[in-house]
Copies of this chain bind each other. A is one copy, B any other.
Amino acid sequence: MTASPHSKTNPGNYFEDFHLDQEIVHSTPRTVTEGDQALYIALYGSRFPLHCSAEMAMDLGYDDMPLEDMLVFHMVFGKSVPDISLNAIANLGYAECVFGVPVYAGDTLRATSRVIGLKENSNRKAGVVYVRTTGVNQDDEVVVDYVRWVMVRKRHPGDDSTPLNPPEIPELTDVVPAADLIVPDGLDLNDYDPELVGQEHLWEDYAVGERIDHHGGMTLEDAEHQMATRLYQNTAKVHFNHMFQAQGPMGRRLIYGGHIISLARAMSFNGMANGFRVAAINAGAHVNGCFAGDTIQAWTEVLDKMELPDRADVGALRLRTVAVKDRECGDFPYKDEDGRYQDGVVLDLDYTVLMPRRV
């Protein structure tokens, strides 16, 4: 017991602190409330009616109005930050993200992660950590489960006193198969009323290759992304500390990538309004950083249409939603011929939504 400075402050894990199959229990269980959902609407303007109307949700077989899927994702992600990515250089990707049971106000969420891959950089300054993070409710039912990989600083950058370990890279699927998508228990869309949603297009009406400009456009504010990111209890310094950031190459606070995902998802209502549930995230990349003052717009391409086992009332659409900043989406900006992202692209998200079928 000494009184030395820093002795009790969590400095976060460095690359050397991780080992394969390591299990990490993340702190601070969180009881989610109607207050969280109200803030989510205030932050993103989401209008997907399942998350706005308890009446409609219960009519379709839910126990109550479920929280937004991406709100659940951010809450679980946030819990993992102090242990996984406090010393991260970059959040590199997501895969195999499956949303589980619905989350209702009053549920208490906890999260754990398992290290499933490690790859030290050849410069010995950092390494990539692959984790599978699982969020559960008070009954230990999985609410979301996903893999992410992140480049983490070494505690002793450049230390080459030990030989470089061979990389351990997990095998990851490109897309969550239809059979693994979770349709909430009790859901019955036979009486789904698109008029409540204000858009008539259902699963049958979308074609693979179809592209939709969602119009809209939201200008980012520091007060907004900070409130969002704190709501998720995500503690990454880059989002909050202007003094620190001003000294770095960005010169200002970097916005949490999940904030952009939620904005893009909310914007996608205009054109995909009946895509009532995010069932999976197949892959995702934050192509460029976003900052206060940037204006975000988004468009979506239908990548695939999937039937679901034993369901005639609901199908799945695999989508790519691309978010851009400070430009329009009418020309569907994405990649150049050489495969490089075009100027202004900030998010490339490959995910799967559930949508009612015509019955």
Chain A residues within CB distance 8 Å of chain B: 1-3, 5-11, 25-31, 33-39, 41-45, 47, 49, 52-56, 65, 82-83, 105-106, 108, 138, 195-199, 201, 205-207, 209-219, 221-224, 226-231, 233, 235, 237, 240-244, 253, 270-273, 293, 295, 326, 330, 332
User: Quick check: B8 and A29 within 8 Å, CB to CB?
Assistant: no
Determine how close the nearest CB of chain B comes to the CB of A309; give it in whole angstroms: 25
Q: Which residues of B contact A11 (CB under 8 A)?
A: 215
Q: Which residues of B contact A2 (CB under 8 A)?
A: 207
Q: Which residue of B lies closest to A38 (CB)?
A: B35
Count of chain copies = 3
User: Quick check: B199 and A10 within 8 Å, CB to CB?
Assistant: yes
Highest count of chain B CB atoms <10 Å: which of A105, A226, A233, A243 = A243
Q: Which residues of B contact A106 (CB under 8 A)?
A: 54
Q: Which residue of B lies closest to A11 (CB)?
A: B215
Q: Which residues of B contact A215 (CB under 8 A)?
A: 9, 11, 237
Q: State A222–B293 Cα separation when bound (angstroms).
A: 11
Determine how close the nearest CB of chain B comes to the CB of A268; give it in whole angstroms: 10
Other-chain contact of A212, B8, B47, B54 (Cβ < 8 Å):
B8
User: Quick check: B253 and A235 within 8 Å, CB to CB?
Assistant: no
User: Quick check: A47 and B34 within 8 Å, CB to CB?
Assistant: no
User: Quick check: B39 and A243 within 8 Å, CB to CB?
Assistant: no
User: Quick check: A108 and B54 within 8 Å, CB to CB?
Assistant: yes
Q: Which residues of B contact A235 (CB under 8 A)?
A: 45, 47, 216, 270
Other-chain contact of A39, B31, B35, B240 (Cβ < 8 Å):
B35
Q: Which residues of B contact A332 (CB under 8 A)?
A: 5
Q: Which residues of B contact A41 (CB under 8 A)?
A: 230-231, 233
Q: Which residues of B contact A30 (CB under 8 A)?
A: 52-53
Determine how close the nearest CB of chain B comes to the CB of A322; give it in whole angstroms: 13
User: Quick check: B237 and A53 within 8 Å, CB to CB?
Assistant: no
Q: Which residue of B lies closest to A200 (CB)?
A: B8
Q: State A52–B196 Cα separation when bound (angstroms).
A: 32
Q: Which residues of B contact A224 (CB under 8 A)?
A: 223, 226-227
Q: Which residues of B contact A7 (CB under 8 A)?
A: 210, 212
Other-chain contact of A242, B55, B219, B231, B270 (Cβ < 8 Å):
B219
Other-chain contact of A108, B42, B55, B213, B271 (Cβ < 8 Å):
B55
Determine how close the nearest CB of chain B comes to the CB of A289; give it in whole angstroms: 17
User: Quick check: B196 and A217 within 8 Å, CB to CB?
Assistant: no
Q: Which residues of B contact A105 (CB under 8 A)?
A: 34
Q: Which residues of B contact A293 (CB under 8 A)?
A: 242
**A5-B211, A36-B35, A38-B38 known; A27 vs B197 contact (CB < 8 Å):** yes
